[in-house]
Amino acid sequence: ADGLSSYKADIAAAVLCLMLGGVDEANCLVVPHARSQPTAYGGMPITNSPVKQEAKYCKHLVHRIEGLNPGEDGVGFYNSIGWLKQSLPTDQSHAIYPRLREAAERLAPAAAGFGCGEARAALRTMGPERWLPRSFIGLCEQAVEFEDGELMAFCGAVQTEELLLLFEHVTYTEALEVESSRDAAAV
């Protein structure tokens, strides 16, 4: 479990970096797990990394946070969609999506401003109890392009919840595995 713990620690550390605004630092932590080729900033790839899907999901977040800024392979929002497709190749749902949808519903402002209406409309088009990350990428892009403060605040709040949920997901499952291995060793 030590190797897996180390790999999950990379993902957890990357999520913490994203929470603190360390986009490049987060990218460097997940690149070895997500890419199959060496990079100058991430080093050698970790072949058959057991956290490859989570690393690719983090890459999606890195690029979404980059927004309209250019990243390693183009504009952030565009790259975010590409990494999302790699992390969830079909219409799979990530384990955090049900709780993320609940948070988004709770955070959707009730005010009458344009951004508030756009946030509520995006949630309606996702359908009940569904989270569609590509729709959220589009909403974030719209917020930035139109410099809509209300919509940017909503997207930022949802993104914060997403990072918290992802961190909890990575560290909680790790804690369960450690506890389970301790229980097995005690028997």
pLDDT in tens, 147-170: 999 999 999 999 999 999 999 999
Please give the model's pTM, rounded to 2 decimal places.
Answer: 0.88
Residues 104 and 125: their CA atoms lie apart, in Å, by: 13
pLDDT 10s digits, 103-152: 999 999 776 777 888 999 999 999 988 999 999 999 999 999 999 999 99
pLDDT 10s digits, 35-47: 999 999 999 999 9
Mean pLDDT (whole number) for 16-21: 98
Integer-rounded Cα Rg, in Å, for the chain is 17
